[in-house]
């Protein structure tokens, strides 16, 4: 099990909060609200029953600066789903459960709406699903929430805090992902702090239509420098292989998974495409 963040008990939900959270779920696309009496029941997250996913450490050379500053996890590779910004648990959780069935390599919890307690309860339920599926969970932006649910990692953007301080907060055993947009110099500066850096928007994105665009050439340049990279923005089954071939190690996807009536099937297709592209590249 991963070590707790410092003062983690202050941020973990107590039994009174967790005990209120038991949701009935049903199969179906995200846009359909689940009737209360269908499907499986997701019980509250419990650290004794739902431990974090154990990932093998990457071998490190003696004296390696990256090893000294943390980030010992294996590189993130493959299909990296990001949840839509949907605070309604009866809509979000069935879609997450189906996406996990398809064989995700990682899942990012990215929900901005709702109160802090509501986000905590929802993250706890997602934590249960990812733990049961053996899939690493990364929390977007919120370091304390990542600690509270004992996620495998956290992802931060330019305005979400100093990466050095975030690394110190989460410790050396959790993934730290950092958005670098189209800035290769920023990625180089974070190479001893972050486990992976994100470039994007690679293509036009319905989620962030005004985001800066990142050329595919960035992935090859970052790969040549030994950086682990994630492509994000407008990536789907039609172009994911192109991003991997350019040098990305993983592709982060929202719409092509969670707008599909069958998220599990979408993930299976993406996984086949992405892992074949990684194999062809020799990654």
> Angle of helix 89-101 relative to helix 116-133, nearest 10 degrees?
20
Annotated catalytic residue: which of 131, 179, 201, 205? Answer: 179
Q: Quick one: tokens of 195?
A: 């486990």
Annotated catalytic residue: which of 90, 208, 213, 271? Answer: 208
Residues in the chain: 283
* 201, 234 Cβ separation under 8 angstroms: yes
DSSP state, residue 78: E
CA–CA separation, 159 and 256 (whole Å): 27
Cis-peptide into 201, omega within 30 deg: yes
CA–CA separation, 26 and 34 (whole Å): 6
Cis-peptide into 157, omega within 30 deg: no
CA–CA separation, 144 and 127 (whole Å): 14
Measured from the Cβ of residue 201, the count of other Cβ atoms closer than 10 Å reads: 21
Q: CA angle, 158 as apex, 100 and 179 as ends, to 5°? A: 40
Residue 199: name the closest of 217, 224, 175 by CA: 217
Q: Quick one: tokens of 234?
A: 């407008």
Look up 208 and say whether it is catalytic. yes
* 64, 97 Cβ separation under 8 angstroms: no
**50: phi then psi, degrees, rounded to nearest 5:** -120, 70
Kind of pairing between the strands at 196-199 and 229-232: parallel
Annotated catalytic residue: which of 12, 77, 110, 169? Answer: 110
Q: Quick one: tokens of 152?
A: 């495998």
Look up 112 and say whether it is catalytic. no
Look up 110 and say whether it is catalytic. yes
Tell me which residues are annotated as active site.
110, 179, 208
């Amino acid at each position: 099990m991963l070590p707790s963040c410092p003062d983690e008990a202050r941020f973990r939900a107590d039994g009174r909060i967790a005990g209120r959270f038991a949701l009935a779920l049903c199969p179906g696309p995200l846009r359909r609200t689940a009737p209360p009496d269908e499907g499986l029941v997701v019980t509250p997250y419990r650290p004794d029953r739902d431990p974090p996913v154990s990932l093998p450490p990457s071998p490190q050379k003696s004296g390696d600066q990256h090893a000294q500053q943390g980030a010992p996890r294996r590189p993130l590779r493959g299909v990296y789903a990001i949840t839509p910004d949907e605070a309604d648990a009866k809509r979000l959780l069935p879609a997450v459960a189906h996406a996990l069935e398809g064989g995700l390599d990682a899942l990012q919890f990215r929900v901005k709406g709702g109160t802090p307690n509501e986000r905590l309860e929802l993250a706890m339920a997602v934590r249960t699903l990812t733990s049961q599926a053996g899939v690493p969970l990364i929390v977007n932006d919120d370091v304390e929430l990542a600690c509270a649910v004992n996620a495998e990692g956290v992802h931060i953007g330019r305005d979400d805090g100093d990466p050095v301080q975030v690394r110190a907060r989460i410790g050396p055993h959790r993934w730290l992902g950092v958005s670098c947009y189209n800035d290769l110099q920023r990625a180089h500066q974070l190479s001893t702090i972050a486990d992976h850096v994100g470039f994007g928007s690679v293509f036009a994105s319905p989620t962030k239509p005004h985001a800066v665009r990142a050329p595919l050439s960035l992935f090859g340049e970052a790969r040549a420098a030994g950086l682990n990279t994630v492509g994000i923005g407008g990536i789907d089954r039609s172009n994911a292989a192109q991003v991997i071939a350019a040098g990305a190690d993983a592709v982060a996807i929202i719409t092509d998974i969670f707008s599909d009536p069958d998220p599990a099937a979408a993930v299976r297709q993406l996984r086949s495409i992405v892992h074949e592209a990684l194999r062809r590249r020799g990654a």
